[in-house]
Structure 1
């Protein structure tokens, strides 16, 4: 594989045979042609491996390793690259054709930018449900919320600077931690204010499991790992958390005073009484 490409697109793949070709085609259809694609199979099932073995394109190279998680797969793929810039792409998502061209132009004209992302669509069954508009910015924007997305173009030197993705983070939020590590070095993330990416919503996806079952655990890990950063921004972080708490409190008041909520409580009252009588017996 030629070493002259400026961008390496790293695609970790775990049992995503049904979607991987959409991801690949979204790269092969880019208006910018200066890239190579490295796919890292992260211990997928046979059906996915069969699809990967059929891939035949001069820009694509497939590597196989045992299942170690997305962070390890990304690190593995990036380590194999020689390019100046890296684009990470999950195997079940895909980009608009102009993303690479627009993102590379920003990195080459703004020396303080480490990462370029974009607005993105949430997609279910190929139907657009919502547009997400992350803010990007500096480290202060990322301490209480991930204002980026895991699929973005960044400088390979930044990956080296922070020691890569944290391979211990196997249940999610590894991209958030990675951005914090990079931006803490004084870099900035730029967001293209166009929806140039499609994020596929899937039941029981890794990100959904992270939010539903591991949220506190993962946030605590990030906080403890970067405690010095949070300490340096203690006042800003605390005020932001207080504002978030106030917003949730007011939202809860609106909810509990709504007609739907009170009607629901009224309809459930007889069942609660029956349950109480049964428990007494």
Structure 2
């Protein structure tokens, strides 16, 4: 394989000074080197800025801006890229050394594929979890109910151009999901390398967690309204997926209720509920 990867890696960074070097080193240590690495500092604190200011590497560019959000940071970095392929990487996550080589090889050989992701593991409390997360990828029909891809993936810059980049209105999250929908509904496919070549860091407080807790309904409604015709055109698939997910949730709820901890909790609380009825 040529040593020219035609890849620019874009790393938005907001107050991730504790992790950015691990993320950056995971790219510098790839078996196929990126042509360019662009770090967009999105209004970080002084501690993170000091870490970024110490980065001196020939193919690494650090761009400082006031805080504008991850979508604008990514769009800024991608707009500066001059390569055919773009790899997103959040500043607190990292790739295994062979990801770029394997992903580029697949994109080069498969012209109908716009995005390449992979299986991944999670890092929690500085410990790698045993479970391997296996997104499906595929076509747009696999993305109607949830994102079946990996936010940190390699994609063709032309795909980004076709959809006018990340939706900068999505300041509260789920922008990766919407971005993949926008790309895949144009007929592109997402390929998933069936190896855990990426590690996603789970933090106590993170943008993803806040999105799920506080903005899930709002963001889902936004995606549905923006791509309403897509959901109408794929109504049967969308309905079947919703029914299946509801079925899984009901089974999980029932399993929880039947668990020993739940039953013990009910026994412990029973006297309190009895007293409450008497007092009432």
Q: TM-score, normalised by structure 2?
A: 0.95
**Contact 1:22/1:94 (<8 A) preserved:** yes
Aligned length: 276
Between the aligned partners of 2:193 and 2:126, the Cα distance in structure 1 is 22
Kindly state the Cα deviation for residue 235 of structure 1 after the two structures are TM-superposed: 1.3
Between the aligned partners of 1:258 and 1:22, the Cα distance in structure 2 is 40
CA displacement, residues 236-277 of structure 1 (integer Å, 9 cap, x when unaligned):
101211122122223323332334322211111122234455
Structure 1 residues 40 and 17: alpha-carbon distance in aligned structure 2, compared to 1, 3 A threshold: same
Structure 1 residues 126 and 262: alpha-carbon distance in aligned structure 2, compared to 1, 3 A threshold: closer
1:60 equivalent to 2:60? Answer yes
CA displacement, residues 164-201 of structure 1 (integer Å, 9 cap, x when unaligned):
00011111110000000000000000000000001011
Between the aligned partners of 2:34 and 2:88, the Cα distance in structure 1 is 15
CA displacement, residues 60-90 of structure 1 (integer Å, 9 cap, x when unaligned):
0010111111011000000011111000000
Mapping for residues 62-211 of structure 1, pairs under 5 Å: 62-129=62-129, 130-211=131-212
**Contact 1:122/1:201 (<8 A) preserved:** yes
Q: TM-score, normalised by structure 1?
A: 0.95
1:213 equivalent to 2:214? Answer yes
1:264 equivalent to 2:265? Answer yes
**Contact 1:10/1:77 (<8 A) preserved:** yes
**Contact 1:5/1:36 (<8 A) preserved:** no
Between the aligned partners of 2:145 and 2:122, the Cα distance in structure 1 is 22
Kindly state the Cα deviation for residue 57 of structure 1 after the two structures are TM-superposed: 0.4
In the alignment, which residue of structure 1 is the partner of 2:10?
10
Between the aligned partners of 1:157 and 1:254, the Cα distance in structure 2 is 46
Name stretches of at least 5 consecutive residues in structure 1 with no aligned partner.
Answer: none
Look up the SS of the partner of 1:132 in the other structure: coil
